Amino acid sequence: MENMNTLDKLTALVTNDLTLVNKVITKRVHNSINLIPQLSSYIINSGGKRLRPILTLAASKLCNYQGNRHINLAACIEFIHTATLLHDDVVDDSLLRRGLISANTIWGNKSSILVGDFMLSQSLELIVEDGNLQVLEILAHAFSVISEGEILHLSTSNDIYIDKNSYFKIIRSKTATLFAAACQIGAIISNCSNDEELALKNYGINLGIVFQLIDDALDYSAKQKQFGKTLGNDFYNGKITLPMILAFHRSNDKEQEFLFSILKDSGKFNKKTDLIQILHLMEKYKCLEDTIKSAHHYSDIARDALSIFQNSAIKSAMISIIDFCINRKF
Amino acid sequence: MENMNTLDKLTALVTNDLTLVNKVITKRVHNSINLIPQLSSYIINSGGKRLRPILTLAASKLCNYQGNRHINLAACIEFIHTATLLHDDVVDDSLLRRGLISANTIWGNKSSILVGDFMLSQSLELIVEDGNLQVLEILAHAFSVISEGEILHLSTSNDIYIDKNSYFKIIRSKTATLFAAACQIGAIISNCSNDEELALKNYGINLGIVFQLIDDALDYSAKQKQFGKTLGNDFYNGKITLPMILAFHRSNDKEQEFLFSILKDSGKFNKKTDLIQILHLMEKYKCLEDTIKSAHHYSDIARDALSIFQNSAIKSAMISIIDFCINRKF
């Protein structure tokens, strides 16, 4: 496995389970209303890494889980994730998703909203099938927090004065919470100790923060072409993320005035020249570097969280995906 | 109570409970992110009749329920309903809702999508608080069916060849299912007999069908001003409902050709003259009258469903709201 990338290592260890998860997903979106399987297959198979369901499978394996509840619950996690992607892309007017034309561009916003709701309903049906109230509680709460995070992010659009605390609150809510829930569920179904459950939850939340920090850095990075999104997508959507917060805080008065004046009405697509100036400021003030440094801080916490587990191939692969999240270019 | 309208009679019988339901809703949308309480209060207090939560309260009362679970569960039903309204208005590009400017017109589609998701999350949190898997099952399944119904409706947009069966499938799914679940939940928490549970479910589903048939008739009715929606909203959105299906099936070749030609690209706002011609056809072929006749058919089924319950003030009020749904002008 030495030559594999760090995600492939983990994927290889749960590959049989992941095949079963994919089967559950495919079965659940099979429907006589053609739009459902068409749009669902498109988004589900459009190069997603299945990171979140893989986390559920991995956490279960780490806890020596012997049953089969993890399959449906991993599928459930992927449905929640995909539903939020579909709604997000409508909210962000995204033209691209993972380098492909976004579902809302092909089928329209209406379809994306409703098929997103359908996916939420399928995640609920899977919780019903699982039949455990503790699992329901974690996933219901996760969905609440995600939803609040999305609204907070929307509410702070174009607000250059947003501080780092609010930013971290947003990414914890909208991204890291589902990573945490994905891991925690693996722990819960395995009946592992409270300490182990908490450890996996912490691993998940910090891994999620790393993931989002890198996502936000990549949005302003020249590596965007590999990433499959529009360069400066967050800027065009007026989404203020850490690189921009750092750029603003470190800018001189004149630069701050420039940033304020262009961000207060960003969201229009005629500002490539402004984006180029912003990229210069980010380079001048090492904003992407420091965003990545911040990701390293959280990656250490994620790694340390797993220390209570005995060494094993799965533990080592779970540590490797922290590096995958740090080093990813897409 | 003789002078009260038929909904007020039922509302009066559950008024204390309804006040508690409203308190639960208000508490749940209280949030430090201002957009959440602002948009939520606007849609929740914008003249909604609270028909669905009232059904949960009424069904509980009919079954002599003595606890307090019905309060949270009625609030849960209202959250699911309001979430679908918010998403619907985005899907339909609605400018008005209940005679007021729609939430998406004021706060934008993005806010409506995300606050809709937030409301779904709150309905889930209420199910968690209730802590009963049977209730979860019914509501999860209802949400699936509603979501499929919405997608089927969207998929059949502008399709004048849609038949009555498909139409009834759509309104059963997207409207009547939540009415049925609202009633069924009242039965379940009361531990009443299977026959009584089924009776309440049937009452709910048929009442829901009545409600939607009248809604669809009103959409083409001159009483629209009182109804608070744009006249011919369904036409402008390419939504084919029973009045249009009847008009098409009863038209001669030339009229069918006209309907086909204008519906295949409806959804543009420059066709008031076409709408007037459609209204003439509907009058000529008694399409609204026959839609209302069909509603009467289902209202009889709804009424008969309650026959297994002993006579009581609440039973009689539940029968009266069937008439309310038939006779409503808004």
Pairwise CB contact (< 8 Å): B148 & A31: yes
> How many of the other CB atoms lie within 10 Å of CB of A163?
10
Q: Which residue of A has its CA nearest to B130?
A: A133
Positive or negative, the CA dihedral A242, A243, A245, A246 is positive
Instruction: Write out chain A residues lying below 8 Å of B146, CB-based.
Output: 121
How open is the CA angle A231-A166-A152, to the nearest 5 degrees? 75
pLDDT tens string, chain A, 330 residues long: the values are: 444 577 888 999 999 999 999 999 999 999 999 999 999 888 888 767 899 999 999 999 999 999 999 999 999 999 999 999 999 888 777 666 666 777 777 888 889 999 999 999 999 999 999 999 999 999 999 999 999 999 999 999 888 889 999 999 999 999 999 999 999 999 999 999 999 999 999 999 999 999 999 999 999 986 655 656 678 888 888 889 999 999 999 999 999 999 998 887 655 555 788 899 999 999 999 999 999 999 999 999 999 999 999 999 999 999 999 999 998 876
CA distance B104 to chain A (A): 12
Q: Does B67 touch chain A (CB under 8 A)?
A: no
Structurally, chain B folds into a number of domains equal to 1
Alpha-carbon distance of B244 to B282, in angstroms, equals 8
- CB of B244 closer than 8 Å to CB of B277: no
Tell me the CATH number at B133.
1.10.600.10
How do strand B100-101 and strand B96-97 relate by DSSP bridges? antiparallel
CA distance A241 to chain B (A): 18
- A contact residues 242-281, partner B, Cβ 8 Å cutoff: none
Q: Which residue of A has its CA nearest to B135?
A: A128
Distance from CA of A317 to the nearest CA of B (A): 33
pLDDT digits (tens, 9 = 90+) for B227-242: 566 788 888 888 899 9
Tell whether B96 is within 8 A of chain A (Cβ): no
Distance between CA atoms of B60 and A184, rounded to whole angstroms? 37
* Per-position pLDDT tens, chain B of length 330: 444 577 888 999 999 999 999 999 999 999 999 999 999 888 888 767 899 999 999 999 999 999 999 999 999 999 999 999 999 888 777 666 666 777 777 888 889 999 999 999 999 999 999 999 999 999 999 999 999 999 999 999 888 889 999 999 999 999 999 999 999 999 999 999 999 999 999 999 999 999 999 999 999 986 655 656 678 888 888 889 999 999 999 999 999 999 998 887 655 555 788 899 999 999 999 999 999 999 999 999 999 999 999 999 999 999 999 999 998 876
- A39 touches B: beta carbon within 8 Å: no
Of B46, B51, B317, B16, nearest to B176 by C-alpha is B51
Cα(A10)–Cα(A14) distance, rounded to whole angstroms? 7
DSSP letters, A130-184, are HT-HHHHHHHHHHHHHHHHHHHHHHHTTT-TT--HHHHHHHHIIIIIHHHHHHHH
Collapsed DSSP state (helix, strand, coil) of residue A15: helix
The verdict on a CB contact (< 8 Å) between B118 and A31 is no
Nearest to A180 by CA among A214, A156, A212: A212
Put simply, whether A133 touches B (Cβ < 8 Å) is: yes
What is the domain extent for residue B232? 2-327
The answer to whether the CB atoms of A120 and B115 lie below 8 A apart is no
- Give the gap in angstroms from C-alpha A35 to the nearest C-alpha of chain B: 7
Residue of B nearest to A123 (CA): B140
Strand partners, B29: none
**B101 three-class SS:** strand
CB distance from B55 to chain A under 8 Å?
Answer: no
Tokens standing for residue A253:
């008065």
Distance from CA of A326 to the nearest CA of B (A): 29
Q: Kind of pairing, strands B100-101 and A96-97?
A: unpaired
Q: How far apart are CA B99 and CA B228, in angstroms?
A: 3
B141 CB near a chain A CB, below 8 Å? yes
Nearest to A140 among B115, B121, B152 (CB): B121
Q: Where are the beta strands (DSSP E) in chain A?
A: 96-97, 100-101
Please judge whether B124 and A122 are an interchain contact, meaning their C-beta atoms are less than 8 angstroms apart: no
Contact A242, A101 (CB under 8 A): no
Q: Is A121 in contact with B111 (Cβ distance < 8 A)?
A: no
Distance (Å, rounded) from C-alpha A122 to C-alpha B176? 20
pTM: 0.93
Residues 6+ apart with CB under 8 A from B276: none
